[in-house]
Structure 1
């Protein structure tokens, strides 16, 4: 049995689609970071996406936990030409509506689809499970990344999983057993 504690990075305060842009996280709420650190297993391995908002958050909560190298496969969705734009700023409103309303194979220009993101994150999780069987893992990542794994655990479609809120500095817990994924707490703020 392996448990994943998916932690969403600290807030960036951006009001647009932030995928691969390397925006810093606001980690000024030290009380929230302390509570988060205490809520996580003390012997867990810690890994993060390679984007600074995730690496800095992981550094802030890792404490004495062993730190694994950053993994670019845990990055947020690549929004391509839509990066750092608000929904209403995207020129092709038909495409962006389809992207959010029928997630799957639809891609932003130069970006990746929901299925692309899911496959990328699944590869990272499979590598972690193979390299560290039976270990607890704290994975500091992004909204979309966490939703891809929650979708598997809940056995729902992408559109349905988008209905879940994943706040900054929250924990979503998934346990891998022989029968598959079990979902524990979702969007838990310690």
Structure 2
């Protein structure tokens, strides 16, 4: 069995959509980082998305754990033209599309962005590749809110809309067990 410990990166303090835009994380809370590190298995492999907020968070908790190369497939959703805009700006400029994006996630995408299904397929493919390359090894995957929700949705067998109802806080752990079928052990555990 493989266990994937999905960790959401440290906070960015952004108040806008942040997808593929590379925004740094605030890693000043050393006590929280130490608690997170202590809550994760020491023999697990560490992988992260290639965006600096995840890379830097993974580096902060890596310790003596073996680090795998960064993976672009673990990135946050590509919010396209919405990236960098506040939610209210998006709702004002694209009222119908933004409402549908949140109320009926699946095939709906931001202009020049990707849909829930496209992001979920990308993240699923990437983490499946990591698992295949490292059989029977536990994995700490440092990634993003949306990427983690797609995997929680996959493992729990729920709809994307139901997945969006879950919180995924910064520094939280969402534990997914692969035996070979997927199952959710815990969601949004903040040590």
Which bracket does the TM-score occupy, shorter chain normalised? Answer: over 0.9
Structure 2 partner of 1:188: 189
- Aligned Cα RMSD in Å? 0.6
Residue pairs, 1:5-16, within 5 angstroms: 5-16=5-16
Match of 2:141 among 139, 144, 150: 139
- Deviation string for 1:146-172 (max 9, x for gaps)? 000100111100000000000000000
Residue pairs, 1:105-184, within 5 angstroms: 105-178=107-180, 180-184=181-185
- How far, CA to CA, are the matches of 1:152 and 1:52 in structure 2? 26
- Deviation string for 1:47-74 (max 9, x for gaps)? 0000000000000000000000000000
How far the C-alpha of 1:32 sits from its partner, in A, is 0.4
- Deviation string for 1:8-59 (max 9, x for gaps)? 0000001111001110001100000001001101010000000000000000
**How many residues are matched?**
189
Structure 1 partner of 2:101: 99
For structure 2, the 5+ residue unaligned runs are none
- Please, what TM-score do these two structures have when normalized by structure 1? 0.98
How far the C-alpha of 1:174 sits from its partner, in A, is 0.5
- How far, CA to CA, are the matches of 1:29 and 1:172 in structure 2? 20
- How far, CA to CA, are the matches of 2:133 and 2:20 in structure 1? 26
- Deviation string for 1:93-115 (max 9, x for gaps)? 11111111100011111000000
Structure 1 partner of 2:35: 35
Q: Deviating runs (4+, > 3 A) in structure 1?
A: none
- Please, what TM-score do these two structures have when normalized by structure 2? 0.98
For structure 1, the 5+ residue unaligned runs are none
- How far, CA to CA, are the matches of 1:38 and 1:92 in structure 2? 43
Q: Secondary structure at the match of 1:156?
A: coil
How far the C-alpha of 1:87 sits from its partner, in A, is 1.7
- How far, CA to CA, are the matches of 2:127 and 2:23 in structure 1? 24
- How far, CA to CA, are the matches of 1:189 and 1:3 in structure 2? 17
- How far, CA to CA, are the matches of 2:68 and 2:107 in structure 1? 31
- How far, CA to CA, are the matches of 1:38 and 1:61 in structure 2? 9
Structure 1 partner of 2:60: 60
Structure 2 partner of 1:19: 19
